Structure 1
Amino acid sequence: MPRLADLRFRAATALQRHVANPITRRLPFQTVLETVGRTSGLPRRTPLGGRRVGDSFWLVSEFGERSQYVRNIKADPRVRVRIRGRWHTGTAQLLPDDDPVARLRLLPRSNSAAVRMLGTDLLTVRVDLDG
């Protein structure tokens, strides 16, 4: 990974992990993805942006397979997503063949702008929601 991209990754993830995520995951209507920690087995909650379309929830990971929640999904694709204050169970699918830049145009603008600005290795994720 080029040095600038690595620096951007480290700065963004440190800010998210220690400042933004602890605050935003507590907001009642913030969208949150819950995965199972691949090492700890504990629930891991990550605030993020995306959009529900029918029985699927779509998002774009700004750091692709370097994102901790993506690594957790690879180990166990069963997830929960809190959308508008309500939890939904589902199965996450990583979609490396999907065009993440085109996908971002279909997702909420504020989150998409941040993902484009900070992201170094975009990856589309689809969560197929149960029932």
Structure 2
Amino acid sequence: MSRFHEIKHRVATTFQRQVGNPLLRRLPNQPVLETTGRKSGVPRQTPVGGRRVGREFWIVSEFGEKSQYVRNIQADPRVRLRLEGQWHTGTAHLLPDDDPRARLKALPRLNSAAVRAIGTQLLTIRVDLDD
């Protein structure tokens, strides 16, 4: 990763962790992905942008395997997802062979634009919902 991308990643994740995520988690209609901390075992909640299609929920991570929630999924793919105020259980799958730029075209526009602008290592994630 270039120095520019490293700085971009550090600035974006610091902002998300300290400002964006705490605010977005409180919005009732904001999708929130809950993973289990790979070191702590504690639930970790991350606001995400994506779209439900049937029993699947699609996300594109802007920093791929550098994202903490992606690392948590690698350690334990069982997740919970808050959609429209209700929690659902499911299993997350990392899809490195999927075209994340094409996938973003089918996801909410505002979030997709932000992911394209900030992202350095896009990675598609599919959550198969149990219910």
Q: TM-score, normalised by structure 1?
A: 0.99
* Distance in 2 between residues matched to 1:61 and 1:20, nearest whole Å: 15
* Distance in 1 between residues matched to 2:37 and 2:26, nearest whole Å: 19
Report how far residue 39 of structure 1 moved. Answer: 0.4
In the other structure, the counterpart of 1:114 is 114
SS in structure 2 of the partner of residue 21 of structure 1: helix
Deviations 1:102-128 (A, max 9, x none): 000000000000000000000000000
1:79 pairs with 2:83: no
1:30 pairs with 2:7: no
Report how far residue 10 of structure 1 moved. Answer: 0.2
Q: Give the counterpart letter for 1:22 in structure 2.
A: P
Q: Give the counterpart letter for 1:84 in structure 2.
A: E
Q: Give the counterpart letter for 1:90 in structure 2.
A: G
Q: Displaced runs of 4+ in structure 1, greater than 2 A?
A: none
Q: Give the counterpart letter for 1:50 in structure 2.
A: G
In the other structure, the counterpart of 1:10 is 10
Q: How many residues align?
A: 131
In the other structure, the counterpart of 2:61 is 61
Q: How does 1:44-55 map to 2 (within 5 A)?
A: 44-55=44-55
* Distance in 1 between residues matched to 2:5 and 2:105, nearest whole Å: 23
* Distance in 2 between residues matched to 1:50 and 1:81, nearest whole Å: 11
CA root-mean-square deviation: 0.5
* Distance in 2 between residues matched to 1:125 and 1:29, nearest whole Å: 20
* Distance in 2 between residues matched to 1:24 and 1:104, nearest whole Å: 20
What percentage of aligned pairs have identical amino acids? 69
Q: Give the counterpart letter for 2:98 in structure 1.
A: D
SS in structure 2 of the partner of residue 38 of structure 1: coil
| Gapped regions of structure 1 (runs ≥ 5) | none
